[in-house]
Structure formats: structure tokens, C-alpha cells
A and B are shown apart, each in its own frame.
Chain A
Amino acid sequence: MIAYALVQETLRANPRRWLVTGAAGFIGSHVIERLLLLGQQVRVMDNFFTGKSANLDAVRSIVGADAATRLEFVEGDIRNAAACASACAGMDQVIHLAALGSVPLSMDKPADCNEINVTGTLNMMIAAHGAGIRRFVYASSSAVYGDDELPAKREDSIGKPLSPYAASKFINEVYASTMLSCYGLETVGLRFFNVFGPRQDPKGAYAAVIPCWIDAMRRGEDVFINGDGENTRDFCFVRDVVQALILASMTDNAAAFGRAFNVGLGSATNLNQLFETIRTLVQESSGKAVPGVIYRDFRAGDIRHSCADTSRVTDVLGFAPEYSVMAGLSETV
């Protein structure tokens, strides 16, 4: 709590100019919401490939007209190096979240995944460096752990990537390390575990379990679990992810640069528990009974247990999550 509170005070006192790519997406919209509430100047670049203008509207209405005047939107595609350069002009900080996030889509279209996630990220790093920006924070993913079998993931023990998506996130980390050692760009990657929160898309090729279930329960549709429900995940509320992104952006600790850190709660929730919690919350808010879950076959390729070891992000960045899974779900349902 302390590090984040201090950083927020510093930012309020001395606002900076932030470029956030992919900010019309789920996580990005929460980042800019917080930055605007902290009095920052925020430029958003998004091409609405998966992001939604409705997310930006939601942010404007949450932060109020006054703060919304500090939000500048640029429609642009990170695959275009010139667009990246012009988006970076005059900025102090970059938070790069724009990406193709779907694992199955990456398997069908590895060239698109490479173009957006790898070439796009490299374009952004080169542009940031060219614009004299010192700090570059970007979204990596727990997917980089690949076929590593330890349930508690530690940063320096990664397995082999299981998809072009996972490879692209791993490759971002490699380029980020090189951009530091060759050009001095202070890159910090954050390996997101299972992020959840308001505005997360319940639809789409790889909809995450929480928005998908909330949506299904509200519509009175069936909810399925693939397997026995004992699979565990490290669910992390989006506002804590925002904390990590802002800490990474502002830290003076050089031990952070050129590296990637797990962002999670460091706890494991199994799907059965998750189901019961969401069901209780939905029943309370809707007043209607929600039927029990339906079990199906395990899905090939699904990892059994995944949980972040958060000692590094805690030690190096001072990360201290403020939301338990329950508290986060209460804000989400």
C-alpha cells in the first residue's frame, strides 16, 4: 500500500504525459481511468481491433468532464512504425497494452500474431526510445510459463511456449531486455495472470471465465466447467493490475529494468469455489436463483494449476494488492 500511495501522491503533485496503447481494451481502460483521476495527461492509441469505444465513453463518464479534457485519443495501429512515432511525440511515459490476445487465433494466424504482438511491440519500443522516453512498460503474460510444470510460477523458470501467442509474449521480453542493454530503454514487463474486472469482454474467441459466467448467469444460461472444477488459477482484480503498471512506470529501482514480473495475488482459486462465489453475488444482485454448474470433459491443453509467485514484484516494485478475489468480484458482478 505504501509504495502505491506514495507514487500516486507524487503523480498528483507532478502530473506527467502518458501514452497508453490498447487503452480502449479492458485493462487499458482501467489504467487510463486511474491516470485521469490522478490528474495526468493521457494519450490513447487504439485501432479498435478488439478495443471498444464504449470503454472510452465509460471512462469519460466515470472521471467526469473536467478530467476527460485531459484525455486525447489517437486512432492508430502499432504495426505502423510512423503511427507509433507520432503517438510517442511529447510523451513522458509509455504503457503498451495493445496486442492480439487470443491463443486460438494465434494458432490459426501466427503471422498476424507476430505482426501485432512482436513487430508492433518492437515498433513501439523503437518509437519510445526515438522520442526520448525513458520508461517503457508493457504487457507480458503468464502464458510464457508454457509447459513448465511447477504450479507456483517463478519468473526465471519458464517452460517452452505452447502457442504462437505465448511465443510472441516471450519474444517481447527478449526484445525488451535487448532494448535496455543496447539502448538504455528502461523496459519493464508484467506477466499478467488471470485478470478480471468490470468491462471485461464476456464474448469473443477466448472470453475469460469470470465475465463469461456472470453474463451466462444473468441471462439464465447454463454455466459449464471443463473438468472437475479443481483446476486453479490466480485471479487478480484489474485495479491491482493497474497498481502494478503504475508502480512499474514510476519505480527508481534499476533492478526492475529489462525484466518481467508476475502480476497476480499469489493465491490459487479453484473453479468450483469461483463458481459458488459468483453465483452467490449474482443471486444477491438479481434476486433470482442461479442453477448449479454443469461439468463437461477436461479441455485439451488446459493447465491444471497456475499461481504466481509474487515475491519479486513485491520486493522490487513494492506491489501490494488491495483486492481479494471476493472483493474484486463484488465490484465486478
Chain B
Amino acid sequence: MTSYEQLQSRLRVQPARWLVTGGAGFIGSHLVETLLAMGQEVVMMDSLITGRRENIDNVLSRTHAEARGKFRFIKGDVRELDDCRRACEGTDYVLHQAGLGSVPRSLERPADTHAANVTGTLHMLMAAREAGAKRLTYASSSSVYGDDEGLPKIESRTGQPLSPYAASKAMCEAYARVFWRCYQFSAVGLRYFNVFGPRQDPNGPYAAVVPKWVDALRQKDPVFINGDGSTSRDFCYVANVVQANLLAATSENPNVNCQVMNVALGGRTTLNDLFGAIRDGLIKRGADIAGVQPVYRDFRPGDIRHSQADISLARDLLGYAPTHDIYAGLNEALEWYWAEA
């Protein structure tokens, strides 16, 4: 049995109380869905500023009635300390996903990104600690590697952040360290690498590449690649991220107490290859887009050229073992997007 399988058994037998912030967002909604399916008590807090009610509805519609009874939604904003305190009451584990994503958004509005990501995370650390939560597990980001050019990325070597978004995530990690040092409160950071999957938002100026391209190909709109397509990423299906979160939150390994860990597949896919895989996946499902090619434009400021994770720390400390590679993940994601038409 893998660590994750063992954990799932344990949690089913002895359910815990969980708070997911940003639970109406993409990753948060998957955390909520998985936890409910495992019979856990789940409180979700979301401001619905970027999170969407449709995601909540979608999760609840896929959840058995009995499990739905263990779900509670609190409308709240991590920028308000009192909202954080209310949400943390009685919680064992906090999975903190609330924040403002997107590198380009942060370049345009650095103060907003700071308030949501830095101040918001500090508030959650304070509230979780006051409430006696066992641990806060938060979303960090591969963007903290910044201008460090080493590949694959190992946790101990980061460069200078290249955007206010990246800086904000580096700051979450700094505050987490202080909370361990000063208050012995455990906060674990997971550096997400290009997560994708069902419910990721295709709309808006800050949409991520997978949903955006799926949407564009289906509408027969041009697909833009910023650069020449050789830009590579470690795309990671959301189910792997859920696994990492649950393992990190509950790990009794003392080396996990004040840790940051890469969460990824450990693979490397170019944008050109990703485009091909999405296009071919949609063609298999009946889309009439044979021979479509992307449109290349300028590189986007703040974007890193290559990114690939070394996931040995999460493997060793948590027993993290990704269940979906990029193709298995894309298969499920495309299935979902196709059905949502």
C-alpha cells in the first residue's frame, strides 16, 4: 500500500476536521471533493472574488448526500483576520489555497496580490495557531525559484523572484518559518508546478494554458504561444496535488514541521508538445481541428523559460507518489471539459 492509500484508510476510520480556504477555486474544490468523499468534516472559506459558486455546486453534485451533511461554506476573505478566526474554529488541519494567482495579474496590481497572498497568509497562520490547529498547509509556487537557472529545481536553491506574485509566495514561506521559530506552529509549504485539471477556469486575462487552449481550440479561436513553444513546464494533474496536500497536512514526520516541498510530476513538457497532446485529445473526442497550429508571439515578461521539479523531498518525507502522469491527467481533464460543453 502506498502512503496515500494508508492515509485514506486511516482518515476514513477516524475522520478529521478540515478547513479549506479558497475552496471555491480550482485546486481548493478538488481538495473539498476528495475530503468529502473520504467522509471528512469540511469547512470551506472563500470570498468568491475569483472562486466560483459553480465549483461548489459541481463538487456537491458529485458528493453523496450523507457526506454533504459534513460540509459547511463560510463566505469570508483572508484579508479580514476575523473571517480567518471564524473559519478556523475547531479545525484540525488547514489547507490554505486562498490567494490571487497569476504572474501577469501581480505585475499589474502588485498591492492586491500582496494583500491576498502575504497579508492573507499571515492572517491564516495567526488564526490557525490561535485555534490550536495541528498544521497549516499552504500553496506556495514554483515561481519562487525565480531567476535561478538550475534544473531540476531543488528546494534548497532559489533565485530572486521575477514578479510580485513570486515574491508574495516567497514571503509566505518566510512567515511560515517565523511561525515555527517563534511559536512552534507548523506550516508546510507546497510549491505547486503548473497544476491543471477539471474546473480550472478558461476565462479571463489570467487563465492558465490548459483550459485556455482547450476552450480556444473548441471555439476555433487562435491558440497563442508566448515565445517559440520550447518553453517547458512540469505540468501536474490536480489529483497529485490533492495527494500531496493530504499527506503533508497529516504527516507525523518531524522533518515535515517547517518544510517546503515541490509538488509536481518531475517531468518536463514543452508548450509545443502540450499543444499537440491537447489538440490530438480533442480530435479523438470528435473536434474538427486537424492540422491546427498555434500562433507564436512575444515572450511574456516575468515568465520563466524552463521549469522542472525534483520531487525527491516529497517522496522521501511524505511517501508522495503521483498517480497521474501528464497524459493520464490530460485524458481526465479533456473528458471533463468535453462533457461540460
A171 and B111 CA atoms in complex are apart in Å by 14
Query: Could you tell me the dominant secondary structure of chain A's interface residues?
Result: helix
Smallest CB-CB A-B distances: 6 pairs: A178-B167, A167-B178, A171-B171, A167-B174, A174-B167, A177-B160
Chain B residue contacts of A119, Cβ below 8 A: 111, 114-115, 118-119
30 A-B pairs within 8 Å (CB atoms) are namely A107-B182, A110-B122, A110-B175, A110-B178, A111-B122, A114-B175, A118-B171, A119-B114, A122-B111, A123-B111, A126-B110, A126-B111, A147-B181, A160-B177, A161-B178, A162-B181, A162-B182, A163-B182, A167-B174, A167-B175, A171-B171, A174-B170, A174-B174, A175-B164, A177-B167, A178-B163, A181-B160, A182-B107, A182-B162, A258-B160
* Interface hub of A118, A119, A163, A171 (most chain B Cβ within 10 A): A171
Q: Which A residues lie at the B interface, using CB under 8 A?
A: 81, 107, 110-111, 114-115, 118-119, 122-123, 126, 147, 160-164, 166-167, 170-171, 174-175, 177-178, 181-182, 258
Known: A111-B122, A171-B174, A182-B301. A177 touches B111 (CB 8 A): no
- Shortest distance in angstroms between A112's beta carbon and chain B's nearest beta carbon? 11
5 A-B pairs besides A170-B174, A175-B114 with CB distance below 8 A are A114-B118, A167-B175, A175-B164, A177-B160, A182-B163
- Asked if B166 lies at the interface with its beta carbon under 8 angstroms from chain A, I say yes
Specify the chain A residue showing the minimal Cβ separation from B115. A119
A115 and B178 CA atoms in complex are apart in Å by 16
Specify the chain B residue showing the minimal Cβ separation from A166. B178
CB pair A178–B122 under 8 Å, yes or no, is: no
Chain A residue contacts of B160, Cβ below 8 A: 177-178, 181, 258
* Interface hub of B81, B166, B181 (most chain A Cβ within 10 A): B181
CB 8 Å contact bits of B145-168 with A (1 = contact, 0 = none): 001000000000000111110110
CB pair B122–A114 under 8 Å, yes or no, is: yes
CB pair B126–A110 under 8 Å, yes or no, is: yes
- Asked if B123 lies at the interface with its beta carbon under 8 angstroms from chain A, I say yes
Complex partner residue of A111 from B114, B126, B147, CB under 8 angstroms: B126
In B181-214, the 8 Å CB interface with A consists of 181-182
Query: Could you tell me the dominant secondary structure of chain B's interface residues?
Result: helix
Complex partner residue of B174 from A107, A161, A178, CB under 8 angstroms: A161
CB 8 Å contact bits of B116-149 with A (1 = contact, 0 = none): 0011001100100000000000000000000100
- Asked if B302 lies at the interface with its beta carbon under 8 angstroms from chain A, I say yes
Chain A residue contacts of B167, Cβ below 8 A: 174-175, 177-178
- Shortest distance in angstroms between A18's beta carbon and chain B's nearest beta carbon? 24
CB pair A182–B174 under 8 Å, yes or no, is: no
Complex partner residue of A171 from B118, B123, B181, CB under 8 angstroms: B118
Known: A114-B118, A114-B122, A167-B177. A178 touches B182 (CB 8 A): no
Chain B residue contacts of A81, Cβ below 8 A: 111
* Interface hub of A118, A162, A166, A167 (most chain B Cβ within 10 A): A167
A110 and B110 CA atoms in complex are apart in Å by 21
Chain A residue contacts of B161, Cβ below 8 A: 174, 177-178
Chain B residue contacts of A162, Cβ below 8 A: 178, 181-182
A234 and B122 CA atoms in complex are apart in Å by 32
A119 and B115 CA atoms in complex are apart in Å by 8
CB pair B166–A178 under 8 Å, yes or no, is: yes
Complex partner residue of A115 from B119, B162, B181, B182, CB under 8 angstroms: B119
